[in-house]
Chain A
Amino acid sequence: MLSFIRKRAFASLISLIGLLVMVFFLSRLTGDPASLFLPVEASAEMKAEFRALHGLDQPLLVQFGQYVGNVLTGDLGESLRKARPALDVVLEAFTWTLWLAVITMTLVTVCAIVVGSLAAFRTGGFFDRFSSMVSLIGASVPDFWLAIVAIVVFAIQLSWLPTSGTGSLAHWILPICVLFVRPFGIIVQVVRGSMITALSSAYVKTARAKGVKSGPIIFVHALRNAMLPVITVIGDQAASLLNGAVVIETIFGFPGVGKLMIDSILQRDFNVVLAAILVTAFAIFLMNLVIDLAYALLDPRIRY
C-alpha cells in the first residue's frame, strides 16, 4: 500500500514537472507584462526597469531555472497585480472553490446514487423513465445558459436570491444549484447502468434465494459492487469542479480559483497562473489517490 502511494506520488511529480515546463513557456508567449502593467506612455527605460525588477530581462531558461529553484523552497513568487505572495492569493481563492466543489459533489453523489439505484430497481417503470429524462436533460443543458436563466428568474424577476458575489449563505445557492445539474445528470446515468448490471448478477439471485429483503439487496449487496465505475465518474466530475468552474465562477462573480486563473491570464500575472495550476494539479493528484484507495476499500479483490 505504502509503496503504491510512493509510486503514484513519483509518477505525479513527473507530470507536475511536465505541466510546469509547458505552462511556464506557453505563458511567456502570451505577451509582455511590462506593456500591460505600465501606462501606454511609459518610456523604454521604465519598462526595462520593470522587467529587471521582476527578473523578466533574463534569458527564458535562466528565468525558468530560478523559478523551479524557488518552487522547491516553497516560494511561488509575488503576484504582479496584487503585490502579495502568489501562493497566498491562490490558496485563498482555492478555499472558495474547494468548498463549492465539496458541497456540490456531496449533494450530487447522494442524490444521484439514490435516484439511479431506484431507477435501476424497477427498470422501465415510471420513476425510471422520469429520472432518465431528467438526468438526460441535466447532462446536456449548457451550464452557462442555465446560470444566466437562473439569475434572470430567481435573482432578477423573483428577487429571491442575490445575482452574484459572496457574503451570505444565499449567495451560495445559485452557483451550487447550477453546478449540481450536469454532474447529477451524468452520474445518475452511470449509477443506473451499473446498478442494472449488479442487480441482475448471480449474487443478487443468491441473496433473493436466502430471503434477503429488497432494501438490503439494493443498497447493501448491489450498490457496493456497482460503486466502482461510479467512483471513477465522480472523481472525473469533481476534478472539473476543482479546476475551478471557470464559466460559472465568472458569471456569478465567485472569487474561486477558476475566476482567478482567467483574470491572471488576461493580466499576464504569470506567477499566479503558475501557482494556481500547481495547487489545482496537486489537489487533483490527492483526489485521484483517494479514489484509488477507495477502490481497494470497496472491493477486497483490489490490492495495491
Chain B
Amino acid sequence: MADHLLEVRNLSVDFHTASGVVHAVRNISYYLDRGETLAILGESGSGKSVSSSAIMNLIDMPPGKISSGEILLDGKDLFKMNAEQRREVNGRRIAMIFQDPLSHLNPVYTVGWQMREALKTHGIGNTQAQAEALRLFKRVALPDPERALDKYPHEFSGGQRQRVMIAMALALKPDLLIADEPTTALDVTVQAEVLNLLKELQRETGMGVLIITHDLGVVSEVADRVVVMEKGQLVESGTVREVYHNPQHAYTKKLISAAPGKGEMHEPATAGEPILSVKDAKKFYGGFEALKGVSFDLKAGETVAVVGESGSGKSTLARILLRLEEADGGTAKWKGKDLFTMSPGELFKLRRDLQMVFQDPTQSLNPRMTVYQLISEAWVIHPEILPKAKWRERVAELLGQVGLSAEHMGRYPHQFSGGQRQRIAIARALALEPQLIVCDEAVSALDVSVQAQVITLLDKLRKEMGIAFIFIAHDLPLVRDFADYVMVMQKGEVVEFGTVAQVFDNPQKPYTQALLAASLDPDPDVQAANRNARLANVS
C-alpha cells in the first residue's frame, strides 16, 4: 500500500499544568494525500491546533508531552527524527501559515528579509533567494512586488500580510501546507480572495493542505474531507458533503444546526415614531473623513444591523452615537433631543438609556471585580434606579435573565468561558434598563454554538423588553437571522439601506452584491453553486 503524504496515528498530547494534566488531544488519527485538502473543524478548546503543532514540532516540552502515537510523513515517523532533522523538514517539506499574520511576522525586519531567510535557512544562496522572493511576491499578487520586499509587516493591509505569509510558506515548494485559521482575521471579500489563491497554488504545486478552522463556510469552500474535533477527541470524519448532509455525531449535528443564516427573516413592524433619528452624522480624523454623512431612523424594539468591512466607519458610528467620541457634524435626535450637542449633565441622565456591549468581554470587564460588583456598579453611578437593599436580588434576577445563576455573583470574569463573559457584559448593560443597546461585534469572538445562544438571548430581550439594537457585525448570515434593517457601509458612506429581506434577497448595489457573494455558506452544494456563479461573473 502506498503511503499517505501525512498520517497521524493515535496521537495523544498532554499538558502538565499547575492544576493538573490536561489531555489536549486523545488518540486522534487522520491522513492526508497529495493534492487533497483536509479540514480540521472544531471550536475553541477542542484541540484542533494541537496536532498541527505536533507535526511542526512547535509544542513546548515541558509542559507539553506526546504521550502516544506517531506522525508519518511519506511513511517516516517524525517523532523518530532528531531535532536537527525535524528542523530541516520544517519549511522545506511542511510549511505553515497562521491566523494573525501581523503578529506572526517579525515586526522589526522587512518582509523581503524574512522571505530570504526562509530560503537561505535551507541552503539557497543570497542572490537566488532575492530573485525567488520577488517571483513569489509576484505570484501571490502583491501590489508593486519590488518595493514590497523592502517594506515592514505593519505597512501592509491584513490581506496583503496573509499573502506575504503564503509566499513565505510556499518558498521551498513544500509537500504539505498547514493553514491554521488562515482567514479568520480577514474581511469576507479578502477571505474569498485568499482562499481562492490557496486553491490555485494547490492546483499548481499538488501539495496537500491541512486547514484548521472553526468556520463551516471555510470547510465547504475549500476542503475535500473534514474531521470534527470536540474536547480533544475526533468525533467524526468523512467527505465534506457526507458530514454536512448526514452528520452522525450529536456534536456535529449541533455545530451544523448552530450555523446562522438559515432562519426566518424578520419582517419589521412599520408603526410607531422613531426613538433615534440620525441625520448626516460626520466624523473626521485629521484630514481623513471616517464618516461622510450617515442618516437612519430606529424605532423602539427594532434592530438595525450595520455591516461593512474594516475601515467602513461602522465602529466610529457607534462611538459617536454613545458620545465616546464627538461627532463633527450632523444631528442624532434621541426622543427629540440632539445627542451630539447635549450638555454633560443631560448626557449623564441619558447614559441610562443607551448602553453598549463590546466585542471582547475579556477586555471590557474589569478582571479584579466580581460579577456582583460589575453589574451593581451601574447603580452606584445612577443610585435613583434601585435602593441598595435590593441590589443582590436584582443582580440575581439579571443573571437569571441572561442564563446564568445567582451563585455566579461572587466569581471573577476569568472564571467564566467567553460566552458566559459576554452574557455578564449584557447583564451589566441591562442593569440600567436601557432602551437602546449598541452591540459592536458583540458575538464575533464567540464560537458558533455560543454565538447562537447569545443571539437567542438578545432576541428574547428585544421581544420581552422592547429594547432597540444597533448591531454592528461583519458576519452576514448572523445579521440575516437577527436584524430588521440592514445598513451596508463602505468607506464612511451608507451604500445601501433596507429591510433584511430587501438587502439579502434583492441587493441593489454592486458592493452589497460582492459582500453577499463572498460570504461563505456552510452547505457545500450551495457554496459550490455560489462559487461558480461568482467565477462566471468575473469571466
A residues in contact (CB < 8 Å) with B: 201-203, 205-213, 216, 221, 224-225, 298-301
Contacts and interface: CB of A to CB of B under 8 A. Distances in A.
Contacts of B112: none
B516 to A, nearest CB: 33
6 contacts: A202-B98, A203-B106, A206-B105, A206-B165, A211-B89, A224-B108
A207 B152 CA distance: 16
Nearest to B56: A209
A213 B87 contact: yes
A144 B154 CA distance: 48
A225 B107 contact: yes
* Listed residue (B89, B98, B165) with the most chain A CB atoms within 10 angstroms of its CB: B98
Interface string B90-102: 1110011010100
B537 interface: no
A298 B58 CA distance: 27
Interface residues of B, number: 29
Interface in B341-379: none
Contacts of B57: 208
Contacts of A213: 87, 121
A205 B154 contact: no
A208 B90 contact: yes
Ranked nearest first, the 8 interchain pairs of A and B with the lowest CB-CB distance are: A211-B91, A211-B90, A202-B103, A203-B106, A209-B96, A210-B91, A202-B104, A300-B152
Contacts of A225: 106-108
A211 B98 contact: no
Interface in B103-121: 103-110, 117-118, 121
Contacts of A212: 91, 117, 121
Main secondary structure of the interface of A (DSSP, over half): helix
Given A213-B87, A300-B152, A206 B56 contact: no
A152 B106 CA distance: 50
B490 to A, nearest CB: 28
Contact of B98 (A205, A298, A299): A205
A300 B109 CA distance: 8
A209 B107 contact: no
Contact of A210 (B103, B109, B118): B118
Nearest to A228: B108
Contacts of B56: 208-209
A301 B153 CA distance: 9
A300 B107 contact: yes
B87 A206 contact: no
A74 B95 CA distance: 64
Contacts of B96: 206, 209
Contacts of A224: 108-109
A299 B108 contact: yes
B95 A201 contact: no
Given A202-B98, A203-B103, A203-B105, A209 B121 contact: no
A222 to B, nearest CB: 9
Contacts of A221: 106
A211 B121 contact: yes
Interface string B123-160: 00000000000000000000000000000101000000
Given A208-B90, A211-B92, A225-B108, 17 more contacts: A202-B103, A203-B105, A203-B106, A203-B107, A205-B98, A206-B104, A207-B106, A209-B58, A209-B96, A210-B91, A210-B95, A211-B88, A221-B106, A225-B107, A300-B107, A300-B108, A301-B152
Contact of A301 (B107, B118, B121): B107
Interface string B180-200: 000000000000000000000
Contacts of B152: 300-301
B122 interface: yes
A201 B103 contact: yes
A217 to B, nearest CB: 10
B108 A298 contact: yes
A146 B106 CA distance: 42
A201 B58 CA distance: 12
Contacts of A206: 96, 98, 104-106, 165
Contacts of B58: 205, 208-209
A298 B108 CA distance: 7
Nearest to B171: A210
A265 B112 CA distance: 58
B467 interface: no
A113 to B, nearest CB: 16
B108 A210 contact: no
B103 to A, nearest CB: 4
A225 B95 CA distance: 24
B124 to A, nearest CB: 12
Contacts of B104: 202-203, 205-206
A301 B155 CA distance: 9
A15 B311 CA distance: 42
Contacts of A300: 107-108, 110, 152, 154
Contacts of A208: 56-58, 90
B168 interface: yes
Nearest to B87: A211
Contacts of B106: 203, 206-207, 221, 225
